[in-house]
Amino acid sequence: MLPIAGVYEVAIRVKALPRAEAFYCGVLGLDVGLRDAKRPWLFLRAGGASGMIVLQEDTGEWPLQHFAFTVGAGDMERATALLRERGIAVRGPVFIGWMPAWCLYFQDPDGHALELCAPLPVGESATARPARVE
Protein backbone atom coordinates (compact mmCIF):
# COMPACT_ATOMS: atom_id res chain seq x y z
CA MET A 1 0.00 0.00 0.00
CA LEU A 2 1.03 3.58 -0.55
CA PRO A 3 1.59 5.72 2.57
CA ILE A 4 -1.12 8.31 1.73
CA ALA A 5 -1.51 10.75 4.61
CA GLY A 6 -4.51 12.73 3.37
CA VAL A 7 -5.98 14.80 0.52
CA TYR A 8 -4.13 17.98 -0.38
CA GLU A 9 -6.00 19.43 -3.38
CA VAL A 10 -9.51 19.10 -4.82
CA ALA A 11 -10.79 20.75 -8.02
CA ILE A 12 -14.34 22.09 -8.08
CA ARG A 13 -15.90 23.03 -11.40
CA VAL A 14 -17.98 26.20 -11.28
CA LYS A 15 -20.06 28.06 -13.88
CA ALA A 16 -18.97 31.62 -12.91
CA LEU A 17 -15.65 32.10 -11.13
CA PRO A 18 -16.50 35.54 -9.60
CA ARG A 19 -19.70 34.17 -8.05
CA ALA A 20 -17.91 31.09 -6.72
CA GLU A 21 -15.06 33.20 -5.35
CA ALA A 22 -17.53 35.42 -3.49
CA PHE A 23 -19.06 32.32 -1.88
CA TYR A 24 -15.94 30.33 -1.05
CA CYS A 25 -13.98 33.36 0.17
CA GLY A 26 -16.73 35.66 1.45
CA VAL A 27 -18.98 33.05 3.06
CA LEU A 28 -16.71 30.10 3.85
CA GLY A 29 -13.68 32.27 4.58
CA LEU A 30 -11.13 30.50 2.37
CA ASP A 31 -8.04 32.51 1.42
CA VAL A 32 -6.78 33.08 -2.12
CA GLY A 33 -3.52 31.25 -2.74
CA LEU A 34 -3.08 31.93 -6.46
CA ARG A 35 -5.15 33.39 -9.26
CA ASP A 36 -4.12 31.57 -12.45
CA ALA A 37 -3.25 34.14 -15.12
CA LYS A 38 -3.59 31.67 -18.01
CA ARG A 39 -6.84 29.90 -17.10
CA PRO A 40 -10.02 30.85 -15.23
CA TRP A 41 -8.84 28.97 -12.12
CA LEU A 42 -8.53 30.15 -8.55
CA PHE A 43 -6.48 28.26 -5.95
CA LEU A 44 -7.84 28.70 -2.42
CA ARG A 45 -6.23 27.70 0.86
CA ALA A 46 -8.43 25.38 2.91
CA GLY A 47 -7.11 25.04 6.44
CA GLY A 48 -3.95 27.06 5.92
CA ALA A 49 -1.14 25.15 4.22
CA SER A 50 -2.79 21.76 4.84
CA GLY A 51 -4.87 21.75 1.66
CA MET A 52 -6.27 23.59 -1.34
CA ILE A 53 -9.46 23.93 -3.32
CA VAL A 54 -9.13 24.85 -6.99
CA LEU A 55 -12.16 26.60 -8.43
CA GLN A 56 -12.16 25.89 -12.18
CA GLU A 57 -14.56 27.88 -14.33
CA ASP A 58 -16.20 25.59 -16.88
CA THR A 59 -19.43 26.63 -18.58
CA GLY A 60 -20.00 23.15 -20.00
CA GLU A 61 -22.04 20.36 -18.46
CA TRP A 62 -20.64 18.39 -15.53
CA PRO A 63 -22.05 16.37 -12.65
CA LEU A 64 -22.63 17.93 -9.26
CA GLN A 65 -20.34 16.65 -6.53
CA HIS A 66 -20.04 16.44 -2.75
CA PHE A 67 -17.22 18.06 -0.76
CA ALA A 68 -16.72 18.08 3.01
CA PHE A 69 -14.64 20.60 4.96
CA THR A 70 -13.30 19.84 8.42
CA VAL A 71 -14.23 22.20 11.26
CA GLY A 72 -13.82 21.97 15.00
CA ALA A 73 -16.76 20.62 16.96
CA GLY A 74 -16.79 23.82 19.01
CA ASP A 75 -17.30 25.88 15.82
CA MET A 76 -20.31 23.97 14.46
CA GLU A 77 -23.07 26.03 16.11
CA ARG A 78 -21.44 29.32 15.09
CA ALA A 79 -20.98 28.05 11.52
CA THR A 80 -24.63 27.00 11.38
CA ALA A 81 -25.79 30.42 12.54
CA LEU A 82 -23.46 32.26 10.15
CA LEU A 83 -24.69 30.30 7.12
CA ARG A 84 -28.33 30.87 8.08
CA GLU A 85 -27.69 34.60 8.61
CA ARG A 86 -26.39 34.73 5.04
CA GLY A 87 -29.57 33.12 3.74
CA ILE A 88 -28.05 29.71 3.04
CA ALA A 89 -30.37 26.76 3.65
CA VAL A 90 -28.72 24.19 5.90
CA ARG A 91 -29.58 20.73 7.17
CA GLY A 92 -28.19 19.89 10.58
CA PRO A 93 -25.98 19.70 12.42
CA VAL A 94 -26.61 15.98 12.41
CA PHE A 95 -24.65 13.45 14.45
CA ILE A 96 -23.21 10.57 12.38
CA GLY A 97 -22.41 7.84 14.87
CA TRP A 98 -20.18 5.55 12.81
CA MET A 99 -17.68 8.36 12.14
CA PRO A 100 -18.31 9.81 14.86
CA ALA A 101 -18.87 13.42 13.74
CA TRP A 102 -21.27 16.33 13.71
CA CYS A 103 -22.13 17.28 10.11
CA LEU A 104 -23.84 20.27 8.53
CA TYR A 105 -25.09 20.13 4.92
CA PHE A 106 -25.69 22.94 2.40
CA GLN A 107 -25.07 23.86 -1.26
CA ASP A 108 -22.73 26.19 -3.08
CA PRO A 109 -24.09 28.57 -5.77
CA ASP A 110 -23.57 25.91 -8.47
CA GLY A 111 -25.50 23.26 -6.54
CA HIS A 112 -22.56 21.18 -5.28
CA ALA A 113 -23.42 19.43 -2.00
CA LEU A 114 -21.15 20.84 0.71
CA GLU A 115 -20.62 19.64 4.23
CA LEU A 116 -18.95 20.96 7.33
CA CYS A 117 -17.72 17.94 9.28
CA ALA A 118 -16.58 18.09 12.91
CA PRO A 119 -14.97 14.72 13.67
CA LEU A 120 -14.97 13.56 17.28
CA PRO A 121 -12.54 11.14 18.93
CA VAL A 122 -13.53 7.53 18.26
CA GLY A 123 -15.87 6.31 20.96
CA GLU A 124 -17.26 9.77 21.76
CA SER A 125 -21.04 10.04 21.53
CA ALA A 126 -23.53 12.69 20.43
CA THR A 127 -24.17 13.56 24.07
CA ALA A 128 -20.60 14.86 24.30
CA ARG A 129 -21.57 17.81 22.07
CA PRO A 130 -24.42 20.31 21.93
CA ALA A 131 -27.80 18.89 21.02
CA ARG A 132 -28.85 18.74 17.40
CA VAL A 133 -29.61 22.17 15.97
CA GLU A 134 -32.12 21.92 13.14
At 6-24, the pLDDT tens digits run 899 999 999 999 999 999 9
Query: Of 110, 106, 103, which is closest to residue 129 (Cα–Cα)?
Result: 103
CATH of range 1-61; options 3.30.70.260, 3.10.180.10, 3.55.40.20, 3.40.50.1100: 3.10.180.10
CATH of range 63-134; options 3.10.180.10, 3.20.20.70, 3.40.50.1820, 3.40.50.11810: 3.10.180.10
At 51-97, the pLDDT tens digits run 999 999 999 999 999 999 999 999 999 999 999 999 999 999 999 99
Domain extent listing, the chain: 1-61, 63-134
Indicate whether 3 pLDDT > 70: yes
Q: Is the preceding peptide bond at 93 cis, omega within 30 degrees of 0?
A: yes
Residues in Cβ contact with 52 at an 8 Å cutoff, skipping those fewer than 6 apart: 8, 9, 10, 33, 43, 44, 45, 46
pTM score of the predicted model: 0.89
